Structures are given as structure tokens and as C-alpha cells.
Amino acid sequence: MTATLERPDAGQQADIDFDVIIIGAGMSGMYQLYRLREQGLKVRVFEAGTSVGGTWYWNRYPGCRFDSESYSYGFSFSQEVLDEWDWTEHFAPQPETERYLNYVADKFDLRRDIQFSSRVKAAHFAEHAHAWDITLEDGATFRSRHLVAAVGPLSSPTYPRVEGIADFEGESYHTGLWPKHPVSFEGKRVAVIGTGATGVQAIQEIAKTAGHLTVFQRRPNWCTPLQNRPITKQEMDEIRASYPEIFRRCKETAACFIHTIDPRGTFEVSEGERNAFLEERYWSQGFGMWQGNFRDMLIDRKANKIISDFVAEKVRQRVKDPEVAELLIPKDHGFGTRRVPQETHYYEVYNQPNVKLVSILDTPIERITPTGLKTTAAEYEFDMIVYATGFDAITGSFDRIDIRGASGQSLKDKWKGGPSTFVGVMVDGFPNLYMVMGPHTALGNIPRSIEYNVEWIRDLIAFMNARGLTRADAKPEAVAEWYEFVKSKGEGLLSNEVDSWMTGVNMNVEGKQTRVLARYSGTAPEYRDRCDKVAARDYQELSFG
């Protein structure tokens, strides 16, 4: 225990509105609420949106759907939910997932403790009270012993850093802030800016009805077939029967997906065998090509080159115009070293007469104009601009809240040179603050990691309550050690040599132009093992008060 800290007195205790405040009602916030309420705690969730779902509430753009197999993504904690809910597609579209999360919220009566349309603006730790003072955008304030930030790793949309966005007179939408009303592309001249995972999904859909679609691509990504299909009633029964096996598998794999890395090295098989394997992987379902490939794909440059060349050949086969095909093949990073977008006829879209690809690598967008946009090479007119420009990932939603710790230091300042945490959940100097899906935690097939993080936080709070403890802080040496561990796990990984949100780079966000240690790249089982040990040893890495 920290010698210098004093227990809050009885008067200060009485000021406390909630045992726990949770920011965010995505899957993380929903499950955290469920688990803490189970412990008899008084909990309040503040959510900026008007309903639950987080990612699946905000991202209503056409084509939005899972890249994880639906049945590996849903919550695993409730047998009743597993028994009652039928997924209709192997990779459910956004409306289905939103429906699913609303069903879960209703089933467990979660809404009664969630305050919607409530964006948290500030969170300051009141040292004398061992509590967090939370301020909403409307000025309302609340005091809570503990604060759980379930703000989402991909929930702060970013726009391109160009002038004139507000001047455009046509329709314009960001994919991560898509409106609830129907949007028609019928006969319209549409621009899509961005070709990441979201852009790829949206482009496929918009190209079906747009009068003309112009895609502005800065850097191409390696995309592979999703192979989505409906789930029949009989298939759903089989899936339901195999839930224990599905979740067991997700627990064992490096990134919590049902796909397992092949134990063989790329050069341990004959060329014929290798090509047959890659062919099978390429056309397999979901992340099979990415998460189920040869074990050395992301650490051996030569192996990675072979696999990249294989995928490049597929693009050349699928895109008729060789110049367009070359523009669509990444030249600055190897296959799998950035997030791999999943596609259904994405490449074939560029064979359509109503679709044009414009590379803005050499001729960047200079500004958005009232009637369209202007690159350094040409001016374009549009009826609609779609910004598929992604998110200020991982730390973005934390940066947007004025979070101040015990000494008054802001979290944003503390993380200026890159985030540092203890097990991805706590930050030294910010007592009683816990992050679900914060930096330096295991991500992968995210709900599996959410469930683990949430339960770890629940257990820590229960541990404190059982002992009458009111303050928990990560010891700085434990944070330093975790940082070194995370760093060691990233060594030798080709993905850490590439600019991406996974290395903390976002050209559209000020101060995010250089790579930092943004994420944990070790395996999820190893992560969980470390966290389990912390709990088993009574949290020696934390100081309590």
C-alpha cells in the first residue's frame, strides 16, 4: 500500500454517485455493465449515441459487415443467448449485428443503467475522495469510485486533412457517422475517398447503383475474398452444437479467430505443395489467408514476398486493365503486414464502365470544392462525397476526453510519445481507471478479448471491495516492464516496419505521423496467462489505498 495516501473520510464517501461509471455502450461497455451489476454495484453507462452497439450502431454504411465469422464474434457468456440467437450469414451485415446487440441489451435489461446522447467531456481524479469526477458535454457532473473507459479502439472518425470539407454543396457522409435515413446512389456521381477495410466494403455496394463512382486511393491494401454465404437452419443447428468447440478454438489461437496459423514454414514444403496450399487459403472463408497461413509469413521477408507475389497475381487475373491492376497492388508493404480488407468482387468493380480509380499518392487531393474536389492534377465534380477515411485508432477516443490523473496530468500528454499501460488496462498515475480494448492489450477477434478484459476488471474491483480498498494504481515499474514486454513481442515482425493504425500512424491526425509502439503483437493466450498471474498473485503490480 502507498504510505502517503489517506482514506477518504465518510463525508467524501457520501458524495459518490456511482460505484462505477462506464464510458461507452458498445460490446465492451454492455458486457462490463452486465458483469458489474451482477456484483450488486451501482453502475452508470454514458453513451454518446442514442442506442447500444458502438461500432455496429455508428457504421451504417452500405456493405458494412463482419470480417470475423458471426458465430465466433458474438458474446459467449450466456448459454441462453447462444441458444436463442440465429445468425443468418457467415459474416453478418451491420443491421443484423445491431439487432443482435439490441436483443442482448433488452434481454438483460441493460438500458435502465445507460444514459444515451451523453458524451463524456472530462474525467478528473479527485485524490482526496479516491474517485473520478465526470463531466458530460451538457455540463452535468457525476462522481464515481471507479471509471471504465470502454470507448472503442475504432470509434473516433477522421477526415482527410484538406481544406474545404464544409464548403461542399452536395451530399457528404463519413462511413463511421453514417445517417440512419436511407441514402440513394442511384444515378449519382459519387466519390469515395479511402480504400481501407471500410472503403473496400462500401465501394463494392455503391458501385452497384451509382451513375458513376470515382475511387480516390492513397495506398492500396491487400484484399482477399470473404466468401460470405447464408447460414441455413440446419447449419445454424450444427453451429450451435459446436459453440463449445468454436470458443475453445478461439481461446487457443494467437488472435482469437477460428483460423489457426499453419505450423509449417513457407520453404518447408515443395513449390507445388505451396502453391496448392496458397490457392486453397486464398479462396477459403474469412481471414483464412491472413490468419491461417504459413507460420513465417509475417517474420521472414522471403516467405512474405512469395505470398505477396501470389496475391498480386490474383489481382492481375481479376482486373482487366493491367494499369489499374498495378495501381491496386501494394508496393510499399507485404501481404498481411497491415489489416487485410475482406472483399466480394471488389477487384471486379474496377472492370465496370461506371467506375474509375484515381491514385492520389502522387497527385494528392488539394482541397474539397463546393462542387467536388481538386487534386494536384485535375478537378472533379460530384453529387456525393463518401469519406471512408477511418478512425483515429486506439488512443483517439481517449484523446478526445480531458482525462486527468492523480497529479492533474492529462492522459493525452502522458501518451504524447506513444501509450504506456499496465496489461493494457491501467495507467500509472490514473488510479481506478480501467480500459477495455485500450492500447497494449490483446485485440484480434475482439469480443473474445473484450470478454477477458471485462472479467479481469470485474475481478480486480471485487478484490478491492472485499478488502475495503478504494484506490488502485499501477506501479510505474510494472508499467515499464509491460512496455518492454510489449516491445519484445513486436521485435522481428514485418508489420511493425509499416505505417498503419497498428503502428500508431494516421496521416490525417496531427501528431500521428511517426510510428510508436501502439499495440501488443504477442499472442492472446500469452497475454491472458500474464494477466491471470497478476490476479493470482493478488495484484502485486498495483499499489492500493
Ligand X SMILES: Cc1cc2nc3c(=O)[nH]c(=O)nc-3n(C[C@H](O)[C@H](O)[C@H](O)COP(=O)(O)OP(=O)(O)OC[C@H]3O[C@@H](n4cnc5c(N)ncnc54)[C@H](O)[C@@H]3O)c2cc1C
Sorted by sequence, the CB contacts under 8 Å of residue 526 that are 6+ apart come out as 489
Q: Is 393 in the site for ligand X (CB under 6 A)?
A: no
54 or 490: CB nearest ligand X: 54
Q: Is 392 in the site for ligand X (CB under 6 A)?
A: no
| Calpha distance 433→147 (Å, rounded) | 5
Shortest distance in whole angstroms from residue 241 CB to ligand X: 23
Closest Cα partner for 100 from 117, 78, 119?
78
Is the distance from CB of 501 to CB of 422 less than 8 angstroms?
Answer: no
Q: Is 294 in the site for ligand X (CB under 6 A)?
A: no
| Calpha distance 414→408 (Å, rounded) | 11
Quick one: which segment of 17-25, 315-323, 346-354, 471-479 binds ligand X (CB under 6 A)? 17-25
**3-state SS class at 134:** strand
Quick one: which segment of 23-31, 227-235, 423-431, 472-480 binds ligand X (CB under 6 A)? 23-31
Q: Is 204 in the site for ligand X (CB under 6 A)?
A: no
Q: Is 286 in the site for ligand X (CB under 6 A)?
A: no
Q: Binding ligand X by CB under 6 A: which of 107, 111, 119, 218?
A: 119
State the binding string over 73-112 for ligand X (x if CB under 6 A, else -). x---------------------------------------
Closest Cα partner for 436 from 21, 27, 19, 18?
27
Angle at 95 between CA 89 and CA 99, to 5 degrees: 95
Nine-digit cell string for 439: 492500447
The CB-side HSE value for 122 (13 A sphere, CA atoms) comes to 13
Shortest distance in whole angstroms from residue 50 CB to ligand X: 10
Shortest distance in whole angstroms from residue 428 CB to ligand X: 22
Q: Is 43 in the site for ligand X (CB under 6 A)?
A: no
Is the distance from CB of 288 to CB of 262 less than 8 angstroms?
Answer: no
Closest Cα partner for 221 from 300, 308, 280, 161?
308
99 or 119: CB nearest ligand X: 119
Helix axes 27-38, 94-107, angle to 10 degrees: 10
State the alpha helices, DSSP H only, in 243-291.
243-252, 271-282, 288-291
Shortest distance in whole angstroms from residue 446 CB to ligand X: 3
| Calpha distance 511→289 (Å, rounded) | 34
Is the distance from CB of 80 to CB of 53 less than 8 angstroms?
Answer: no
Report CA-CA distances (Å) from 491 to 311, 352, 485: 25, 43, 10
Q: Is 396 in the site for ligand X (CB under 6 A)?
A: no
Shortest distance in whole angstroms from residue 411 CB to ligand X: 12
Quick one: which segment of 67-75, 303-311, 424-432, 476-484 binds ligand X (CB under 6 A)? 67-75
Q: Binding ligand X by CB under 6 A: which of 63, 74, 93, 152?
A: 152
| Calpha distance 232→483 (Å, rounded) | 46
Residues 460-519 that bind ligand X (CB under 6 A): none
Q: Is 67 in the site for ligand X (CB under 6 A)?
A: yes
239 or 325: CB nearest ligand X: 239
Q: Is 29 in the site for ligand X (CB under 6 A)?
A: yes
Q: Binding ligand X by CB under 6 A: which of 46, 75, 125, 387?
A: 46
228 or 308: CB nearest ligand X: 228
Q: Is 70 in the site for ligand X (CB under 6 A)?
A: no
- β-pairing verdict for 372-375 and 365-369: antiparallel
- For the four alpha carbons of 264, 265, 268 and 270, in that order, the dihedral sign comes to positive
358 forms beta bridges with 216
Q: Binding ligand X by CB under 6 A: which of 33, 48, 393, 423?
A: 48
212 or 448: CB nearest ligand X: 448
Closest Cα partner for 412 from 395, 393, 434?
395
51 or 352: CB nearest ligand X: 51
State the alpha helices, DSSP H only, in 93-139.
94-107
23 forms beta bridges with 46, 149
- For the four alpha carbons of 256, 114, 388 and 88, in that order, the dihedral sign comes to positive
Q: Is 198 in the site for ligand X (CB under 6 A)?
A: yes
Q: Binding ligand X by CB under 6 A: which of 20, 28, 147, 419?
A: 28
212 or 404: CB nearest ligand X: 404
Shortest distance in whole angstroms from residue 434 CB to ligand X: 13
Q: Is 26 in the site for ligand X (CB under 6 A)?
A: yes
Q: Is 437 in the site for ligand X (CB under 6 A)?
A: yes
Shortest distance in whole angstroms from residue 445 CB to ligand X: 5
Q: Is 389 in the site for ligand X (CB under 6 A)?
A: no
**3-state SS class at 222:** coil
Nine-digit cell string for 94: 451491420
Q: Is 21 in the site for ligand X (CB under 6 A)?
A: no
Q: Is 401 in the site for ligand X (CB under 6 A)?
A: yes
Residues binding ligand X: number (CB under 6 A): 36
Point out which residues bind ligand X (CB under 6 A): 23-29, 46-49, 54-55, 57, 59, 64, 66-68, 73, 119-120, 150-155, 198, 397, 401, 436-437, 445-446, 450
